[in-house]
A and B are shown apart, each in its own frame.
Chain A
Amino acid sequence: MPAGDEPLVRVRGLRKEFDGTPALGGVDLDVARGELVVLLGLSGSGKSTLLRCLNGLHRPSGGEVTVAGTRVDRASARELRHLRTEVGFVFQQFNLVGRLTCLENVLIGGLGRVRGPRYGVSTYSRRMRAEAMAHIERVGLAAQAYQRADTLSGGQQQRVALARTLMQRPQLVLADEPVASLDPENAGTVMDLLVRVCAEEGLTVLCTLHQVDLALGWADRLVGLRQGEKVLDRPAAGLTRDEAMAIYRRVEPAAVAA
């Protein structure tokens, strides 16, 4: 890990409210380049909100968020769009356009690099199509390149979504529960692919998960959130399963004892 380097993600005192309901209450977080950080927490603990504040899909209500040198909390719409071209996002529900072919879905990842709207595979340059095809091959779905995305299984769809993220040539990948909608076997395959590809490309990854075992197996560092507050931030090495599970305790330890 490049010590002393400016972290790729730097969050200070991040607050986010939805119509007065607090979702994040002052979170600090640093992620160094090349690091793989897993965010753990119950649903509703603010994991997804935190990720979406990093690429500006949600506007922070307060605090500082710096990603790849851009101040997300005060960026203009144009700066945000530029930042997003460098930040890949993997969604729990894949968010593929079901009626389009896998290839076109992957090409959508390259939209940030071209000017003007596109519609249909043939509106993208040959070069981009070749690049997209290479990514589809890399996730092992070359034979399905021209199939409609909604004919694929969940695991395959998430692999297409991963290819779409690679097409973006990002520095940072934000993955929001990438395997929560998949069965255990597919979850393992997709997680394996995600981690392997990102490691090969030297990408920085911030991933939310709710399977502690997967998290302990893959992460460099674990960060736990509970009710919008950070309650854990430690390297994965040396962390026990029980210590990680403590994040999920619904109530304060004192109340449990009573």
Chain B
Amino acid sequence: MRVHIDWTACDGRGLCAELLPELLSEDDWGFPVARGDMTVPPALEPAARQAVDRCPALALKLITSDPARASS
């Protein structure tokens, strides 16, 4: 399971970096920065669900597989 950030929605309010400090930090402008590949270890699943639930911009999603980022 991975955390996906919809950057078109993210407003950098900083809740996710507080709830998931193991996975996310903040950049110079308060937007989340992935520490790794954003894979959620089982122990962090409750925190990840809470981060998804509490994100004020609804910018976070939990996904089970990585969509192929095919682009033109």
A binds B: no
